[in-house]
């Protein structure tokens, strides 16, 4: 007879990291068993917290593992959630709803800056970090009594703000251990930033038929649903950018991540990114760089000059800020649309793509090329290739940033000593092959990635 509950579903020799079943806890017996199991597997563990979160369609269980100092260690549902997709829609709030949104933006920004300052002060004084649980207690019992206006807004986005701060703080120290020169410490948020946002994960309702998004303390907000989705909505993010309001809904569609499809040399393409051409492919194709910022740079300068002449605090200055923000939004939308189209085509046409792992931050130290490198968005392009490959069961292969892809002959393997950026073509002294610098680099990236993958596999 088959055993029921979590205990009957666990394989004997499996490790707890590979059990996606934690997301399917359904009764108290399963929860108690899972708690004992986690404590047995992790010696340093002192407590596991099971948080039941009810969304608009269904509920889910978040399992947070805590260590002795109270820091959040891991949400085990990360193993359970296979595919998450975000859907972004335009909001059209009324004047009263805009005022509430602005008050919520200000509250979340205030809480974030207060939490960051508190964590910095505590670390400097005691060399220990405060968890978001401790900050939440301080916020509820102290800060809200000092600033009564915090009680007028939704409390869940304030808690989410502290969680996001805790994640950013932990990520900084985690990356700092890998790279002692890492400079990604969380920054204080500014009210002058054109983009403001807040998050929450429960209490909202998505109504496709009526065209509304129902939010707590706000009511129905008109929403333009240009497409629908299936699955369980998780976290939603309300944002304002250049005077426009949007909602981004993260959805768990319940689908398993597709298995990786096999690939070989014929179904793999190498990509060498650049500035003159956005990308050069190993099949000889060159994709032009649209240079969206360069095409609009004169208009950006004009609007910046107009903004600098406006009196601070005046309505005309606010209008000038809006104009400049909308132009930057237009440039960003053009760039994002181009990257999505290129990445979608490359993933659809190939079983695997090979790219170079570039150190973009150091490359931007060259002030002659920093603006052009920022405009071309290599990092965003690589990120889009990664998640689109995961969605479609494709593979992204990377080679190390120190590999001499441009200086190595793709025909015989001869390595040239020096090659400045001004050299766009060169002839191999060993085999006599005349190489286009970018095409040769794309071929080498493909060959090196396949060679590394074969060694690892």
- Token pair of 306 as six digits: 């107009």
- Token pair of 89 as six digits: 């829609």
- 277 within 8 A of 291, measured Cβ to Cβ: no
- Token pair of 122 as six digits: 């505590």
Residues known to be catalytic: 272, 356, 438
Q: What angle do CA 86, 90, 92 make, to 5 degrees?
A: 145
Rounded to whole angstroms, what are the CA distances from 300 to 122, 292, 316, 322?
A: 42, 12, 17, 12
β-pairing, 72-75 vs 232-241, is unpaired
CA pair distance 90, 221, nearest whole angstrom: 10
Q: Which residues of 91-108 are buried (b: 16+ CB within 10 A; e: fewer)?
A: bebeeebbebbeebbbbb
CA pair distance 416, 427, nearest whole angstrom: 10
Contacts of 336 by beta carbon, 8 Å cutoff, 6+ apart: 380
Cα-flanking dihedrals φ and ψ of residue 49, to 5°?
-105, 130
* Number of C-beta neighbours around residue 236 at 10 A: 25
CA pair distance 268, 40, nearest whole angstrom: 45
Cβ-based burial of 341 (10 A; exposed 0-12, middle 13-18, buried ≥19): exposed
Contacts of 415 by beta carbon, 8 Å cutoff, 6+ apart: 404, 407, 408, 409
Q: What is the DSSP letter of 11?
A: -
- Unique residue bearing structure tokens 């950026």: 421
Q: What angle do CA 64, 70, 75 make, to 5 degrees?
A: 15
């Amino acid at each position: 007879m088959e055993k029921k509950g979590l205990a009957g579903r666990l394989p004997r020799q499996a490790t707890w990291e590979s059990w996606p079943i934690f997301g399917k806890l359904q009764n108290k017996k399963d929860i108690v068993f899972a708690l004992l199991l986690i404590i047995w597997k992790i010696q340093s563990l002192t407590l596991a917290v099971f948080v039941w979160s009810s969304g608009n369609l269904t509920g889910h269980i978040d399992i947070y593992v805590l260590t002795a100092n109270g820091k959040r260690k891991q949400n085990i549902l990360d193993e359970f959630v296979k595919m998450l997709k975000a859907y972004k829609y335009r909001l059209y709030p009324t004047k009263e709803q805009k005022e509430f949104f602005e008050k919520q933006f200000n509250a979340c920004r205030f809480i974030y800056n207060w939490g960051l300052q508190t964590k910095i002060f505590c670390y400097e004084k005691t060399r220990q970090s405060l968890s978001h649980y401790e900050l939440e207690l301080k916020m509820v019992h102290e800060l809200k009594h000092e600033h009564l206006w915090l009680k007028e807004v939704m409390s869940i986005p304030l808690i989410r703000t502290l969680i996001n701060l805790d994640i950013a703080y932990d990520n900084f120290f985690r990356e700092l251990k890998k790279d002692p020169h890492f400079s990604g410490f969380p920054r204080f948020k500014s009210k002058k930033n054109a983009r403001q946002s807040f998050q929450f994960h429960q209490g909202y309702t998505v109504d496709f038929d009526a065209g509304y998004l129902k939010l707590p303390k706000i009511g129905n907000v008109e929403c333009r649903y240009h497409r629908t989705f299936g699955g369980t909505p998780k976290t939603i993010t309300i944002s304002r950018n250049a005077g426009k309001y949007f909602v981004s809904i993260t959805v768990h569609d319940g689908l398993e991540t597709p298995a990786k499809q096999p690939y070989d040399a014929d179904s793999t393409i190498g990509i060498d990114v650049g500035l003159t051409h956005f990308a050069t492919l190993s099949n000889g194709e060159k994709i032009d760089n649209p240079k969206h910022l360069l095409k609009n740079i004169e208009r950006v300068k004009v609007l910046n000059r107009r903004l600098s002449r406006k009196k601070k605090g005046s309505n005309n200055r606010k209008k000038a800020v809006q104009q400049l923000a909308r132009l930057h939004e237009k440039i960003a939308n053009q760039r994002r649309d181009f990257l999505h189209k290129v990445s979608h085509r490359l993933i659809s046409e190939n079983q695997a793509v090979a790219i170079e792992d570039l150190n973009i931050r150091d490359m931007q130290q060259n002030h002659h090329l920093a603006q052009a490198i920022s405009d071309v968005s290599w990092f965003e392009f690589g990120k889009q290739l990664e998640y689109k490959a995961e969605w479609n069961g494709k593979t992204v292969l990377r080679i190390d940033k120190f590999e001499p892809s441009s200086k190595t002959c793709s025909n015989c393997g001869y390595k040239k000593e020096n090659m400045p950026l001004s050299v766009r073509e060169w002839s191999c002294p060993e085999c006599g092959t005349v190489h286009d610098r970018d095409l040769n680099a794309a071929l080498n990236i493909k060959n090196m990635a396949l060679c590394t993958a074969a060694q690892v596999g």
